[in-house]
Amino acid sequence: MAYNLLKGKKGIIFGALDNKSIAWKVAERAFEEGATFTLSNTPTALRFGELNELAERTGATIIPADATSVSDLENVFKTSMEVMGGQVDFVLHSIGMSLNVRKKRVYNDLNYDFLMKTLDISAVSFHKMLQIAYRLDAISRGGSVVALSYVAAQRTHYGYNDMADAKALLESIARSFGYIYGREKGVRVNTVSQSPTMTTAGSGVKGINALMDFTDRMSPLGNADAAECADYCITLFSDLTRKVTMQNLFNDGGFSSMGMSLKAMTMYNKSLECDCDKPGSSLIED
Ligand SMILES: NC(=O)c1ccc[n+]([C@@H]2O[C@H](COP(=O)([O-])OP(=O)(O)OC[C@H]3O[C@@H](n4cnc5c(N)ncnc54)[C@H](O)[C@@H]3O)[C@@H](O)[C@H]2O)c1
């Protein structure tokens, strides 16, 4: 159902790759709610992805950019303002990638060049966007910027690797820049910490299927899917959340407040019935 929550608002959406992407769902919902926006992703993603179809359906202009490149990002903000005729009202940062994860380098054996790439793509790019937008005065007073995060920023999650460090940095940037952007120009900056979700990036997370089953059993409301994440982002772009800023907001069915649930404990008890402690059945990997 649409409520016209973004009627007349303009935005920039980074990170829609295919129809499983969280950013894709945000774009669809933003369109339904009356927004106009531009879409951005890397030239490679544009070649392999299906973004043209989404752009045609939503009337969006596609602007290629590597989010680690300041000049590319400047071009996205300048072109977006040209195309849409003035400042934008919302920006979505939905970007993450770790070469250590891709190349199966575990956390106690990181490649540091890869680590710098992880941090640059997944976190510093958020600072770059904010700094460029601030300098160009590209976001209107009352505007809203959201980046997507994960609970591994606060709590250790087996196998999430250096992306945990990237998410911790991302959330810190939201607070630090959120203070300045709020104080000087009345712009909100938040992160949404989303449940594990079956997307291209999500499927790179070690043991994603079992992880999703576990978090679903642990969360009183179950996992939030990509469409539910999009709904939440829309509220943050809308005028209904005008005083929400510098927050990391969990959209995770309650997972982040749980210690143990009945459903998860039931499965754990069942697993104890197997012979897991016998020699040679060690699960230690990283
Ligand atoms: N899927 C999950 O389980 C989950 C959970 C919590 C948070 N998140 C976060 O949500 C965000 C979106 O991920 P998703 O799950 O929709 O997966 P996705 O793979 O659909 O999106 C990731 C996007 O990052 C883009 N990207 C990678 N390198 C880039 C670069 N250098 N410049 C610009 N863009 C680049 C990719 O092209 C892709 O569009 C990420 O920040 C991810 O960490 C995902």
Ligand 1 neighbours by CB, cut-off 6 Å: 15, 17, 21-23, 41-42, 45, 66-68, 94-97, 121, 148-150, 194, 196-197, 199-202
Cα of 100 vs centre of ligand 1, distance in Å, is 15
* 8 A C-beta contact, residue 229 and residue 197: yes
Separation of CA 240 and ligand 1 centre (Å):
26
Which of 14, 18, 19, 21 to mutate to test ligand 1, by most ligand atoms within 8 A of the CB atom?
21
Alpha carbon of 201 to ligand 1 centroid (Å): 5
96/163 Cα distance (integer angstroms): 8
Q: Rounded distance, CA 182 to CA 178, Å?
A: 6
State whether the Cα torsion 135-140-141-144 is positive or negative.
Answer: negative
Region for residue 151 given its phi and psi (left: phi exceeds 0; alpha: psi -120 to 50; beta: otherwise): alpha
d(C-alpha 242, C-alpha 227), whole Å: 22
Cα 96 to averaged position of ligand 1 atoms, centre (Å): 4
Can you identify the CATH homologous superfamily of domain 10-272? NAD(P)-binding Rossmann-like Domain (3.40.50.720)
Comparing CA positions, the residue from 14, 16, 21 lying closest to residue 200 is 21
DSSP 39: E
Pick the atom of ligand 1 nearest to 195's CA. 5
Task: Quote the pTM value.
Answer: 0.96
Distance (angstroms) between ligand 1 centre and the Cα of 73 equals 17
CA angle centred on 30, ends 28 and 32, rounded to 5°: 70
CA of 274 to the centre of ligand 1 (A): 37
What DSSP designation does 148 have? E
Contact 197, 23 (CB under 8 A): no
pLDDT tens digits, the chain, 286 residues: what are they?
899 999 999 999 999 999 999 999 999 999 999 999 999 999 999 998 799 999 999 999 999 999 999 999 999 999 999 999 999 999 999 999 999 999 999 999 999 999 999 999 999 999 999 999 999 999 999 999 999 999 999 999 989 999 999 999 999 999 999 999 999 999 999 999 999 999 988 888 888 999 999 999 999 999 999 999 999 999 999 999 999 999 999 999 999 999 999 999 999 999 898 655 565 554 455 5
Residue nearest to atom 22 of ligand 1 (CA): 95
